Homo-oligomer: A and B are copies of this chain.
């Protein structure tokens, strides 16, 4: 026997039970997106490299999977170029297309390309795989799914509020306790201004974002390493020490940022957002976190991050506002705000907490035993009747021994077996066997749906 065939490293097959679990998450997310009026779009797996390159930094460019031009790809390259260009530059000559790296850049491209057809404000969601040539490791894949929702073409903070409600609804429906943290990029800019280090805002946000992970001392050390002055580090400390209810922390930081117009604008936005939230009834714990930055420089307003309350696994959802998503494609001044659910991490958390109890991996609700011969026609009619009633019905294709068919039901986790042998057919009945208890009862065929609904099918 030959070696077992394999798949590229960092990619996965999804077996039926894995897919049922993943689809449970996707269907929940999708259902909530739809309840809020978000519409699904899909974009192609392949984008032109001109669309992708330069949008994710140098590291991102390296991680984009490139598609070799089809046909005689070398004809576009001179012999000299082949031997002198080197891999990186040669790849530009022999590849025009790359695989989608995230859903945000393709969405920006979509908005610009289809702007005449789109009615703004446009709420879109997108659940598709993305590909990154990252080093594969536990929990990090080269093909993975993103579930994004964005509103584009509206500055209203009600959009941020709505997205937080969406997050809350999704995790409530998934039965997962989470903590939602909120910040605002303008406040971060205000803080950098206040401590006199506006030019180092990126270094500062990257460092303070690690507060929870590495502690105050290490954050301060990193700031000093990056060249932030001792005076600035000292001025920053009170930000870390703010305590109490959200409103008092907001007042506290407002006092410090009194001189920064941007900072005060951020605080006002946070106050409005939290005032919306104080109205509704959110299940999740929502908190202000003035150190939250999410390392992404393109956020310009709200920053949102979600962590599981009971499993330490990092962020399972995040997002924020970006004031100029489509500018890179020639349509400036379109503001957007969006969130992205990390399906793989949510899957891992739910697996750890045993939250997939309803997912059985079973192919069907019932298995109809195949006795062949004269009983076959009766059994086929039975199957058609059950399917017409919406009951997932598997039929054993061969008239194998009863024991073999029962064992198939057992190893497939099919919860109910229906037996219609000669005796049952004469009596106008079937035997319904519940696999988990072994209990058997005779019922008339028309009563099967009712019997099944009694046991929760």
Question: Are A46 and B11 CB-contacts (below 8 A) given A67-B67, A390-B35?
Answer: yes
- Which of A86-94, A234-242, A345-353 sits within the interface? A86-94
Least CB distance, A111 to chain B, in whole angstroms: 10
A395 neighbours in B (Cβ, 8 Å): 36-37, 158, 162
Instruction: Evaluate contact between A44 and B363: CB separation under 8 angstroms.
Output: no
How many copies of this chain does the complex contain? 2
Query: Known contacts A7-B44, A67-B66, A380-B280: does B397 contact A363 (CB below 8 Å)?
Result: no
The interface bits of chain A over 292-311 (1 if a CB of B lies within 8 angstroms of the residue's CB, else 0) are: 00000000000000000000
A435 to chain B, nearest CB (A): 14
With A16-B124, A44-B11 known as contacts, the answer to whether A363 contacts B73 (CB < 8 A) is no
Most chain B CB atoms below 10 A, which of A79, A82, A119, A370: A119
Chain A interface size range: 35 or more
Residues of B within 8 A of A211 (CB): none
**A67→B280 CA distance, assembly (Å):** 49
Contact A387 B35 (CB under 8 A): yes
Report the minimum CB–CB distance from A404 to chain B (whole Å). Answer: 11
Docked complex Cα distance between A260 and B33 (Å):
61
- Given A65-B70, A114-B13, A36 and B393 contact (CB-CB distance below 8 Å): yes
Closest CB in chain B relative to A29 CB, distance in Å: 15
Task: Looking at the assembled complex, report how far the CB atom of A235 sits from the nearest CB atom of chain B, in whole angstroms.
Answer: 37
Q: A371 contacts the other chain (Cβ, under 8 Å)?
A: no
Enumerate A400-446 residues with CB–CB distance to B below 8 Å: 408, 411-412
Contact across chains for A8 and B97 when beta carbons are under 8 A apart: yes
**CA separation between A71 and B59, bound complex, in Å?**
11
Instruction: State the CA gap A74–B12 with chains docked (Å).
Output: 27
Tell me whether A16 and B37 are in contact in the complex, defined as CB-CB below 8 angstroms, given that A7-B44, A8-B44, A67-B66 are known contacts. Answer: no
Report whether B48 and A6 are in contact in the complex, using a CB–CB cutoff of 8 Å: yes
Segment 35-88 of A: residues with Cβ below 8 Å from B: 35-48, 50-51, 62-63, 65-68, 70-75, 79, 82-83, 86-87
Q: Is the CB of A13 within 8 A of B43?
A: yes
Q: Residue A119 contacts which of B48, B279, B411 (CB distance < 8 angstroms)?
A: B411
Contact A394 B123 (CB under 8 A): yes
Docked pose: A143 CA to B100 CA in angstroms: 13
- Could you list 17 examples of A-B contacts with CB < 8 Å? A1-B330, A5-B112, A7-B47, A12-B44, A13-B43, A14-B42, A15-B117, A37-B364, A45-B99, A70-B133, A72-B86, A79-B83, A151-B397, A155-B398, A156-B397, A158-B395, A161-B380
Give the B-binding residues of A (Cβ under 8 A): 1-8, 11-16, 19-20, 23, 34-48, 50-51, 62-63, 65-68, 70-75, 79, 82-83, 86-87, 90-91, 94-97, 99, 109-110, 112-114, 117, 119, 121, 123-124, 129, 131, 133, 142-143, 151, 154-156, 158-159, 161-162, 165, 169, 276, 279-280, 329-331, 363-364, 367, 370, 377, 380-381, 384, 387, 390-398, 408, 411-412
